Amino acid sequence: MTAGGRPGFLQAVRLAGRDFRHDWKVSLCLCVALAAVMTPLMVLFGLKSGIVTTLQTRLLSDPRNREVVVVGSYSLDAAWFAALTADPRTGFAVPRTRSLAATLDVRAPSGKAEPGLELVPTAPGDPLVPEGLRRQPLAEGAVYLSQSAATTLGVVAGDSVVGQISRTVSNRTEVRRWPLTVAGIVPDSLFSRPAVFAPLAFLVAAEDWRDGRDAPSANRLFASLRLFAADLDAVAPLAETLRQKGLEVRTRAAEIESVQLLDRSLTRVLSLLLGLAVLGFLLSLGASLWAAVERKRRDLALLRLLGFDGLALALVPVTQGVLVAVGGVVLSSLLYWPSAAFFNATLAGTLAREEFVCRLDPLHYGLGVLLTLLLAVLAAAGAARKVARIDPAESLREI
C-alpha cells in the first residue's frame, strides 16, 4: 500500500518520538520516576555483588580456606594416597610422618640456633609456597622456612643453614647434620608458626634415622597428611569423604558456608525488592501511557483518519514506553556510577587493591537494561490495545 511494507509503521514510530520530545516535561517526569526506582536497585545490587565478590575473592585468595586439616595419627598406605590423589576434588596432598619425629634443630651461620622447629612436608604445587617457587621441586638440600623461623634465625632466602637431629642409642646421643639452603620464605599470613618446609623424602629419612632404621621400609605407612581441596566448593564434600574413611578432619567450611549463606539471603531479599519494583514500574508506566492515549485521543484518531493502520498506531505507546525505558536507564546509570565510585572511595580503607564494595557485573547490567526495555513494551500493551481500537470517526467530532 505504501513504500516500506506495512503502512505507516515507521512513520508511527517517528511521530511517537516527535510527540515524546514535544511533551518533554511529561517525558522527563516518566524517565525520572523510572530512574528513582532503578538507581537504588542498581546500587543495592552493586553492593551485594561487590561485597559477596570481595568476600569470595578473599576466601579464594587464602589457600588455607581450601585446607582440610587431618587431626590425629593413622596408618595410611600408598594405595590410600593414590586413591586420594586421583580424586578430582583433591588440589594438593602430601603425606606426613609422625609429628613427634618431625622436628629439626636449625643453626644459622651467625650462630643463632632454633631447636625443635616443626618439619613440614612439601611438594611441587604446595599452595602455601610462594607462587614463583611453587611449581618446581626443591633442589637437593634446599628447604623453605616460615617467616617466623627466618626472622628468629636472621636469615633470608638464599642463605645457608645447618639442620640437625639427634637420637639416643643405648644411652648415647648421636647427632646427624645436613647443610641446607633456604630456597624461599613462606609468609606469615599463610603459616604463622616457626617451621621448616622440606621434601617428604627428607622427613622420611629423618624419621627412619631417628627410629634406628637404616634401610627404608618398602611398605611405609604414613601417620597423616597435608591436604588442600581443589576449590572452595570441594572442601565440604572432600572432608566428608575423609570422615567416612574414619579420619577426623577440620575445615573452614563454616566461613565458606557463611559467605554462601550471605549471598543467598541477599539475593532473596533483593529479588523481592526487584519484584516489587518491577510491579510498580509496570503499573505506573502502564497507567501513564494509558493516560497519554486518553489525552491524545483526538490526535491519534486524526492519524487513523489520515490512513494510519490501527496496528501501526499501536506502536506509538510502545515506542514511547521504550523511550521512557531508555531515558530511565541513561539517567539511573548517570546516577549509579558516581554512587558506586563514592562507596568504593569512602570504604576503600577496608579493601585491598582490586577489591570493590559496589560493583555491577556488565552482564547483569546488560540483563537489567534488557529487562527494563521488555517491561516497558509490556507496560505499553494496554495503551497499545486502546490505540488500535480508536475509531477514526472520533477525529471528526468536536470534543
Partner 1 sequence: MEPADRTIVLELRDLHGQRGDFRLTVPGLRLRAGQALAVTGPSGCGKSTLLDLLGLVLRPAAAGAFRVMGQDVSALWAGGAGGQSALAGLRAGAVGYILQTGGLLPYLSVAENIGLSPRLLGQTMDRGWFDHLVTQLGLQDHLKKAPRLLSIGQRQRVAMARALAHRPPLVLADEPTAALDPATADRALALLLGLSVDSGSALVLVSHDQGRIAGLGIPVLSGVIGTAGEPVRFGPEAQA
Residue 397 near partner 1 by CB under 8 A: yes
Choice between 3 and 218, CB closer to partner 1: 3
Smallest distance from the beta carbon of 14 to partner 1, in angstroms? 8
Residue 214 near partner 1 by CB under 8 A: no
Residue 324 near partner 1 by CB under 8 A: no
DSSP β-bridge partners for residue 213:
none
Smallest distance from the beta carbon of 299 to partner 1, in angstroms? 6
Smallest distance from the beta carbon of 302 to partner 1, in angstroms? 6
Residue 299 near partner 1 by CB under 8 A: yes
Choice between 58 and 298, CB closer to partner 1: 298
Out of 19, 67, 126, 355, which residue is the one contacting partner 1 (CB under 8 A)?
19
**Contact range with partner 1 by CB under 8 A, out of 10-18, 72-80, 113-121, 275-283:** 10-18
Choice between 18 and 213, CB closer to partner 1: 18
Choice between 26 and 133, CB closer to partner 1: 26
Out of 113, 236, 305, 377, which residue is the one contacting partner 1 (CB under 8 A)?
305
Smallest distance from the beta carbon of 315 to partner 1, in angstroms? 14
Q: For residue 146, report the phi and psi dihedrals to the nearest 5 degrees.
A: -70, 155
Per-residue 3-state assignment (H helix, E strand, C coil) for the chain: CCCCCCCCHHHHHHHHHHHHHHCHHHHHHHHHHHHHHHHHHHHHHHHHHHHHHHHHHHHHHCHHHHEEEEECCCCECHHHHHHHHHCCCEEEEEEECCCCCCEEEEECCCCCEEEEEEEEEECCCCCCCCHHHHCCCCCCCEEEEEHHHHHHHCCCCCCEEEEEEEEEECCEEEEEEEEEEEEEEECCCCCCCCEEEEEHHHHHHHHHHHHCCCCCCCCCCECEEEEEECCHHHHHHHHHHHHHCCCEEECCHHHHHHHHHHHHHHHHHHHHHHHHHHHHHHHHHHHHHHHHHHHCHHHHHHHHHCCCCHHHHHHHHHHHHHHHHHHHHHHHHHHHHHHHHHHHHHCHHHCCCCCCCCCCCHHHHHHHHHHHHHHHHHHCHHHHHHHHCCCHHHHHCCC
Residues in region 345-384 near partner 1 by CB under 8 A: none
Residue 386 near partner 1 by CB under 8 A: no
Out of 18, 112, 243, 264, which residue is the one contacting partner 1 (CB under 8 A)?
18
**Contact range with partner 1 by CB under 8 A, out of 34-42, 43-51, 286-294, 301-309:** 301-309
Choice between 87 and 299, CB closer to partner 1: 299
**Contact range with partner 1 by CB under 8 A, out of 55-63, 102-110, 168-176, 385-393:** 385-393
Residue 391 near partner 1 by CB under 8 A: yes
What contacts 225, CB < 8 A, 6 or more positions away?
70, 76, 81, 84, 93, 94, 95, 96
Choice between 48 and 304, CB closer to partner 1: 304
Residue 193 near partner 1 by CB under 8 A: no
Residue 307 near partner 1 by CB under 8 A: yes
Smallest distance from the beta carbon of 26 to partner 1, in angstroms? 12
The contact set with partner 1 (CB under 8 A) reads 1-4, 7-8, 11, 15, 18-19, 21-23, 298-299, 302-310, 391-393, 395-398
